[in-house]
Chain A
Amino acid sequence: GAVVSQHPSRVICKSGTSVKIECRSLDFQATTMFWYRQFPKQSLMLMATSNEGSKATYEQGVEKDKFLINHASLTLSTLTVTSAHPEDSSFYICSEAGLAADTQYFGPGTRLTVL
């Protein structure tokens, strides 16, 4: 299966700063990648669909100006949390859809803590 990496795995930042999270597809060219957020002891919620070479598609209730997504190449999507606040502290995880219907590969996730 495809290998997806995320960097960093863990980040702590001060309130008001911006944090960039990278999601890389290591062995597959992904035209579409997904960003999920998971609060403690809760489920994964889709934030946005990242499309290579075009604008991301955001789910209802997700602020596109706060969560900036860039998918400039077939192997890299980035999520930037702008002006982070403590309520943005969460586990952010990306995924890519494989060629077959039964495949979706997840990155290892990034744990963001905003102080």
Chain B
Amino acid sequence: AQKITQTQPGMFVQEKEAVTLDCTYDTSDPSYGLFWYKQPSSGEMIFLIYQGSYDQQNATEGRYSLNFQKARKSANLVISASQLGDSAMYFCAIEVTGGGNKLTFGTGTQLKVEL
């Protein structure tokens, strides 16, 4: 079974600053994918970024980057130049290749961007 651990229930960051949201994972499967989703108060799940276990480079998508440290089994999300609209719940998730596309989510981190 897979497990995702997000140890930060809540984080605060000032506008325009960068913030790192932690995510560690546990799986015995050698092939997997890691996802980050943003969930604003409306409830929709917004896909942010994906990292495959065999990807050599860290994934980046605009202001989002994923700090993938495979040996440490961590996949931290870095948001640069935070904006007020980034305030939301952020979930890390893992999908094991051959696992039927099922996602296992962490408990999430509530991010609050302040002026």
Interface size class of B (residues with CB under 8 A): 20 to 34
What residues of B have a CB within 8 angstroms of the CB of A97 in the complex? 101
Asked if B102 is an interface residue, CB under 8 A from chain A, the answer is yes
Instruction: Give the dominant DSSP class at A's interface.
Output: strand
Partner of B44, one of A1, A45, A106: A106
**Do the beta carbons of A108 and B108 come within 8 Å of each other?**
no
A-B pair count, CB < 8 Å, reads 56
A34–B99 CA distance with the chains assembled, in angstroms: 13
Partner of A44, one of B42, B91, B100, B101: B91
Interface size class of A (residues with CB under 8 A): 20 to 34
Partner of A93, one of B45, B50, B104: B45
With A108-B43, A109-B44 in contact, do A46 and B33 touch (Cβ < 8 Å)? no
Asked if A91 is an interface residue, CB under 8 A from chain B, the answer is yes
Query: Which residue on A lies nearest to B49, using beta carbons?
Result: A102
**Do the beta carbons of B43 and A93 come within 8 Å of each other?**
yes
What residues of A have a CB within 8 angstroms of the CB of B104 in the complex? 46
B interface vs A, CB < 8 Å? 33, 35, 37, 42-45, 47, 50, 52, 91, 95, 97, 100-108
> Beyond A32-B101, A106-B37: 9 further Cβ-contacts under 8 Å?
A43-B105, A46-B103, A46-B104, A49-B100, A101-B97, A102-B33, A102-B35, A104-B35, A108-B42
A interface vs B, CB < 8 Å? 1, 32, 34, 38, 42-46, 49, 57, 91, 93, 95, 97, 101-106, 108-109, 111
